[in-house]
Structure 1
Amino acid sequence: MKLLLIQPPIQDFYDTDIRLQPIGLCYLKAAIGKFLPHVDVTIRDFHQGWGRKTLPIPKELKYLQEYYPHPDKSPFCSFYHYYHFGATFEQIAVEITEFSPDFVGISSLFTPYYREVLQVAKIVKEKANCPVVVGGSHVSAVPQSILQDDHVDFVICGEGEKPIVELLREWQGGKNYDQVSNLGYKKNKQLFFNPQGENYLIDDLPHPDLSDLDQNRYLFEKRPLSFMITSRSCPHKCTFCSVHLTFGKRYRRRCPQDVIAEIKERYNEGYRIFDFEDDNLTFYVKEMKFLCRELIAAFPEKDVQFVAMNGISYLSLDGELLQLMKEAGFTHLNLALVSSDKTVRETTKRPHTVEKYRKVVEDAVHLGFSIVSYQILGLPSESLASMIQTLSFGARLPILLGASMFYLTPNAPIAKNFPPLSVKEMFTSRLTAMAIETEHFQREDIYTLFITTRIINFFKGLRVENCSVDEALAIAQENGGRDKIGSDILQKLFCEKKLYAYTKKGYKELPKFKSTLFFDVWQNLEYIATQNNTRINLAIPGVKFVC
């Protein structure tokens, strides 16, 4: 029996060139290899490594042309082209025909890309005419949206290792699909969804099988990157997060010795960068410190690097753990601040404090970590003043700002405050769509704050001593290249109260940028802290911009 597991392409204004390793499919292949060794499993990643193709902007997103009107090449650019990232559907059709699978599984991780999943399912039916099962985070949230499609036979909700093994057994045997936990299936054109069941114990899961993946497609700083997962689910209950829909509410952590064994295995395969993709890597502080000590002992030559690009909860970090992480080979910290407003944190059930965050940043900067702090722009319960407060707070710390524009994930706790998402709303449930507006803020506000974050990061990235903003812009001019372009645009902004894009045809105004809102933020700042922990002073008596 030949089983083909597929990571499909996606279509959007942007894509990340990292964090695309289909680790979930690799776990499925390993589990099937352990429990059904007679099944021949192949993973095909049709997303990463195939390049991109420009597409017309879909009708549902046409309103964004006012916000992304120019092919901006400045340091403050947002988006412009709409792309197909990955293999074309024609290429996928050819490969499926050549492979001739008996069964196909397709990953559906993110809600706005469900159309690409269904297009691949259609191709499978046309070229191989075999059963199709779809799983992933989107399926776990709204399984009926996928199973109701004519080209999908089964869906798996939640964790997939045990359900897919049981599904394949039943498909080859008695076809008693009602006995398979987490499974959705069709009978007489009706949809049935079985109760959720327990997956295999986390320490009984075999290490993910990456043998079908080309290492050269998954790079970080030009070196092969491997995902690592040491736990599943999260003990926190943030209302905007949907992790519990996939992994359940029970937080489980792998044995540290088994994690070390997997890292050594990957090291022997040639991987040198390890990205921990846990939803909460450091919750159990004692175990995390033990893991770090083991990593220090296992790799004394320091030729490995560890990152956690899915973010780290600063609530569990202390000085000793940060020191151990640094010694082990962690270089970057992605911290999820979300908001500095206490009311917003309470509303979203974030068990964090600003005081704790500030102390972690202080300790981490002292140790030499590069820090990105993530803020969600446009939480439905948040005011514009609150967003400005958080942005200003981050601007005064020696970190880079990561702005994530809010989008609604189906059936996440926060979604209970909204009507069920329509087909169109599921399609626009993406960062680039800026789909949510409230009585407190409009799309122009979120767009402006997003660009403002990039302007602040421009200053943070300059290598300067303590200086005025005029002096910082002069240094940017001398640097040339994108720094000079950024300096020119900012001089125009300060003098004309307008923001411009930089294009091959010259400077083009960005009409949806609200300069009044930008200056509201600017006036809230006394200074901007650079990544090198120097200050660019914004309000020095007697200093004016040269217009």
Structure 2
Amino acid sequence: MRILLVNPSNKGYYYRLGAVYPPLGLFYISSTLKKIGHSVRVIDMNVEPFDWRNFDYSSFDVVGVSTDTVRFPLAKQICQVVKSQGVITVMGGPHATAEYEKILTDGICDYVVLGEGEVVLPKLLEALKNNERKPDLSGLCYIENGTIVSKKPEFVEDLDLLPFPDRENFTAYRTMFDKKMATSVITSRGCPFNCEFCSASQFMGMRIRKRSVENVVEELKILKKMNYGSVIFFDDNFTIDKTRTIKLCEQMLKENLNFSWWAFSRADELLGKEDLVEAMSKAGCKMLFIGFESAEDEILQEYNKKLSSSIAFDVAKLLKKYKIDLFASFIMGALNDTKESIKKTIKFAKKLGAEIVQFSIMTPYPGTKLYEKLKSKITVKDLSMFDGTNLVFQHPKFSPDELKKLFFKAYYSIYSTPRLIFKRGIPFLIKLLSTGQQAAYSM
């Protein structure tokens, strides 16, 4: 069958800073479908022009659209145009998984795929090929006789069985890291921590499923042949299995891959594990993204982070010893936040000495515990504003304007310091500050 997969654009914070990475979920699905004989085209609107309003979809049998919350308004419009041309539409991604009932009730698409698409989508296409429009499949949702039919998704148990992401047309991605061409890799799926504001554990499951070290290294060798010099490991938690991480680092060294790379981690997984940090540094790790979120332990308890702010400076010191930059992330606008606690967090972030600091405004994304707690208080209906830079619910202590001002002041306070001006350079800081200012006054 002829399949079109569309990744709607996201012109948010990272895009404006030039960090655009391939939608690996769609590229995994593309390679999976190609392997069994389907013809697949992927359109990523972040890197290529796409006149979705006037495009002729009729040459495809099925069009799949991936979406998170902030991109849902555009994904919805695309699906509606596809349906108007009589083509079967499938929607997937975190937002579709969380809101499948409303999506189907509103008639936005024909099917919703829950969770990971590599298992259910090939089965759906086989059923459609056999003129079976209402197949009984795990992870597939649709309306039959006015009733929503849905079954819980199946997760991919053995990730090594998946073909590598379809990188046939990767020349459009020109993101740099450490002055080298960079691309993204996922070595595991799932997250056991279930933080209140995050939907990762709902979308990918709370049980960690890991690719073998050998399988990851094989993909890295392919990327090296494609002239990539940097890699971003987009696992929700790259360092959760210390033994595996060290083994991967040792194998990268043994194979002389010489990548510069960064990954996502947690502070409590690094403290007291100097051998892990040393192994990562030797294998080319240049930066780690860590969500510290707040300087107040009361706020961390509200987020269900299951860690204390007291360890942050020891972790920062450990990373500095091994010349690994710190990418520190913070969230403002917790229900228990006050102006004083936010100002304390800003001072905390400034003192931490991170090379990059990210601030976000707490946002209740569908599929999170936070959304269930706050959905009756959400005041903003435009989901494109759910980008982490807007207050979208009625906060007990802040107005949207008050939190916006604190948000921008946080960025200005961090990035106007001589240390970061010298480290990052004036052009980078102007771009970052203007990005923060655009976000702060975009209402």
TM range (shorter): 0.7 to 0.9
Q: In structure 1, what is the equivalent of residue 362 of structure 2? A: 406
- Select which of 269, 272, 286 maps to 1:316: 269
1:214 deviates by: 2.4
Match for 1:367: what amino acid? Y
**Greater mean alpha carbon deviation, residues 182-191 or residues 150-159:** 182-191
Maintained 8 Å contact 1:406/1:436: no
Deviation of 1:480 after TM superposition, in Å, equals 9.0
- Report what 1:352 is aligned to: 307
Give runs of aligned pairs for residues 457-472 of structure 1, distance below 5 A: 457-462=414-419
C-alpha distance after superposition, 1:459-490 (max 9, x if no partner): 4344799xxxxxxxxxxxxx999999x9xxxx
Aligned match of 1:121: 79
Change (3 A) 1:455 1:38: closer
Q: CA deviation at 1:13?
A: 8.1
The whole-number CA distance in structure 2 between the counterparts of 1:456 and 1:280 is: 29
TM-score normalized with structure 2 length: 0.88
Paired residues of 1:178 and 1:194 also in contact (CA < 8 A): no
Tell me the amino acid that sits aligned with residue 369 of structure 2. Answer: P
Do the aligned partners of 2:140 and 2:151 also contact (CA within 8 Å) in 1? yes
CA positional deviation for 1:121: 1.3
- 2:55 corresponds to which residue? 94
How far apart, CA to CA, are the structure 2 residues paired with 1:240 and 1:483? 28
**What are the superposed Cα offsets for residues 361-387 of structure 1, whole Å, 9 maximum, x if unpaired?**
001122222222111011223333222
Letter in 1 for 2:52: F
Aligned to 2:294: 339
Q: Would the aligned equivalents of 2:57 and 2:87 in 1 still touch at CA under 8 Å?
A: no
Q: 1:278 to 1:19 in 2, by over 3 A?
A: farther
Q: What SS does the aligned partner of 2:306 have? A: coil
Distance change (3 Å), C-alpha of 1:293 and 1:149: same
Report Cα offsets for 1:312-331 as digits up to 9, x if no partner: 21211132222221111111
Q: State the partner residue of 1:3.
A: 3
Query: 1:241: how far off?
Result: 0.8
Does residue 138 of structure 2 align to residue 181 of structure 1?
yes
1:405-424 matches, within 5 Å, as 405-419=361-375, 424=381
CA 1:47–1:259: 2 relative to 1, 3 Å: same
2:66 aligned to which of 77, 86, 107: 107
Percent identity over the alignment is: 23
The match for 1:292 among 222, 244, 249 is 249
SS at match of 2:329: strand
Query: CA separation of 1:414/1:298 partners in 2, compared to 1, >3 Å: closer, same or farther?
Result: same
Question: Cα distance, 1:20 vs. partner?
Answer: 3.4
After superposition, residues 9-408 of structure 1 pair within 5 angstroms as 9-10=9-10, 15-16=15-16, 17-34=18-35, 37-50=36-49, 87-90=50-53, 93-94=54-55, 96=57, 100-108=59-67, 110-127=68-85, 129-173=86-130, 175=132, 177-220=134-177, 223-299=180-256, 302=258, 304-308=259-263, 311-317=264-270, 318-399=273-354, 400-408=356-364
Shift of 1:259: 0.8
Q: Secondary structure of the equivalent of 1:431?
A: coil
SS in 2 for 1:111: coil
Using the TM superposition, give the Cα deviation of residue 355 of structure 1 relative to its aligned residue in structure 2, in angstroms: 3.2
Q: 1:342 to 1:403 in 2, by over 3 A?
A: same
Whether the aligned pair in 1 keeps the contact of 2:113 and 2:140 (CA below 8 Å) is yes
What SS does the aligned partner of 1:27 have? helix
Measured in 2, the distance between the counterparts of 1:47 and 1:459 equals 30
Give the 3 Å change call, closer, same or farther, for CA 267–430 of structure 1 in structure 2. same
Q: CA deviation at 1:228?
A: 0.7
| Residues 96 and 181 of structure 1: CA distance in aligned 2, closer, same or farther (over 3 Å) | same
Query: Separation in 2 of the partners of 1:265 and 1:482?
Result: 31
C-alpha contact (below 8 Å) 1:33/1:39 kept by paired residues: yes
C-alpha RMSD of the superposition: 3.0
For normalisation by structure 1, the TM-score amounts to: 0.72
Q: Which runs of 5+ in 2 are unaligned?
A: none
- Matched with 2:390 is 433
For this pair of structures, how many residues does the alignment match?
429
Which has the greater radius of gyration? 1
Note the alpha carbon deviations across 1:180-224, whole angstroms, 9 max, x for none: 111111223443222333435222222111113325444446643
- Deviations 1:327-351 (CA, angstroms, capped at 9, x unpaired): 1111122211011211111222112
Does the CA-based 8 Å contact 2:124-2:135 persist in structure 1? no
> Which residue type is aligned with residue 366 of structure 1?
K
Deviation at 1:136, TM superposition (A): 0.3
Query: Structure 1: which amino acid aligns with 2:326?
Result: I
Q: Work out the CA distance in 1 between the residues paired with 2:428 and 2:183.
A: 32
The AA in structure 2 aligned to 1:345 is L
